[in-house]
Amino acid sequence: MLNLTEDLTKAYLCAQGLPVPHGAACDTAQAAHAAAGSMCGGAVVKALVAAGRRGKSGAVALVDDADAAQQAAQRMLGTEVAGLPVDRVYVEAREAIAHELYLSFVLDSYPPRMLLSCRGGVDIEQTHAQTPEAIVVMEVDPVHGVMPWDALAGWERAGAQARWLPGLGRLTAALWQAFVAADAQMLEINPLVVRADGTLVLVGAMLAVDDAALARHPAWRAFARSAAQRGGRIANDRERAVIDANERSPGAVFRYTELDGNIGLVVGGGGASLLQHDLMLAMGGAPANHLDATPGAGWQDKMGAVLDAILANPCVKGLLVSYNFLQLVRVDQRMQLIVDLLRARGIDPQRLPIVVRLFGPGEDEARRIAATLPGLHFMPPDSPIDAAVQRIVELTQ
């Protein structure tokens, strides 16, 4: 999942024809001064990081003029918010707020959910904790989607005023369409502002998208590369090489993050990946990387990029290739690919310990293929996951 910054989120929503305030991203205090000077009625200066709760952490400032905007930007630039460096601020026209509402779509389970509340703003989390009944949660049929009348019914339950309902119904349905078109996993509008005249505007907006779908959204790829500032850290050359391989073609996506250890991991299976990571630490080993993969086209080329990254890491002293039972791909095909990649790169398993744990269709042939690379340790049939981890830890000590 890739969390977009507010400037990207609002540019996307604006392109979808949705009402957002005028705003500009600024990388200097002087640029913030110029941006605020073009806005009537004051401005809002926000630290431009892909994180929530900025209002609670002092990363949002309401200003009355350009000089105050410059001072606010100067105060924010160069700091950190939620562990992320603030190298830009977002200067936005200030809205006359009559009411603050809350709306979000979330796809973290099936079916997707829509959350609505007439008590939006910075205290929405407190509202959820103390008066959860103030937040209406509705399941969304992903085929049917959200129609204006569905949204209208939800806002009625949330206690919205009758005069707001027609606009809220149309806006909510349009936001659902934008959510789907973005391949999003989360869209949060907080606050969704009602002006005194009853018109609506999206003052706070956060969008998190499926990074496996970035091939369909080239405008966000450059940000995805820099968002290898994850945790405030810039991606190294090996991590960037894997990112580049992912971007060259749609399909499979490998998320490769280097760690401080000496055992390279080519692992899969969601929870199984994390389990092997934790088992290794518990057994006295140290993972050199974390790896998570989404299957799809181009898997072979991208696996080559991952292996290149792991093997180019000077700290790596061993390699664990471990998956749970393979059903959608034959084990012999997977093994042949790995052996070919290792052989093409001149890797000698007698010098660099390699442990393989693969089970599924074509397993017997996979063992014959593995035997053509002397020194490769192919775990016996039905070996538990911890046995493979224990073996590579022993071989690298």
Evaluate whether 389 touches 276 at the Cβ level (below 8 Å): yes
Element holding 90 (H helix, E strand): strand 89-93
Nearest to 288 by CA among 331, 337, 236: 236
CB 330 within 8 A of CB 361: yes
Q: What is the distance between the alpha carbons of residues 142 and 60, in angstroms, rounded to a whole number?
A: 35
Which domains, and CATH codes, for the chain? 1-21+96-230 (3.30.470.20), 22-94 (3.30.1490.20), 235-396 (3.40.50.261)
Backbone angles phi, psi at 34, to 5 degrees: -65, -40
Pairing of strands 89-93, 23-26: antiparallel
- Whole-number Å distance between alpha carbons of 187 and 208: 6
Q: How many CB atoms lie within 10 A of CB 390?
A: 18
Residues 6+ apart with CB under 8 A from 344: none
Task: Tell me the torsion sign for CA atoms 202, 208, 210, 211.
Answer: positive
Walk along the chain (397 residues) and give the pLDDT tens digit of each residue.
888 999 999 999 999 999 999 999 999 999 999 999 999 889 999 999 887 778 777 889 999 999 999 999 999 999 888 767 899 999 999 999 999 999 999 998 889 999 999 999 888 888 888 988 899 999 999 999 999 999 999 999 999 999 999 999 999 999 999 999 999 999 999 999 999 999 999 999 999 999 778 878 888 877 876 665 444 456 778 888 898 888 787 788 888 888 989 999 998 766 888 899 999 999 999 999 999 887 777 778 888 899 999 999 999 999 999 987 766 678 898 899 889 989 998 999 999 999 999 888 889 999 999 999 999 999 998 899 999 999 999 999 8
Structure letter (DSSP) for residue 345: T
Q: Tokens standing for 389? A: 């981890």
- Who's near 86: CB < 8 A, 6+ residues apart? 47, 48, 49, 59, 76, 77, 78, 79, 80
Q: Which amino acid is at 304?
A: G
98 to 120, 141, 151, 200, 351: CA distances (angstroms): 12, 32, 21, 10, 70
Burial class (CB in 10 A: 0-12, 13-18, 19+), 28: middle
The dihedrals phi and psi of 158, each to the nearest 5 degrees, come to -75, -10
Q: How many helices (H) and strands (E) are present in the chain, helices listed first?
A: 13, 19
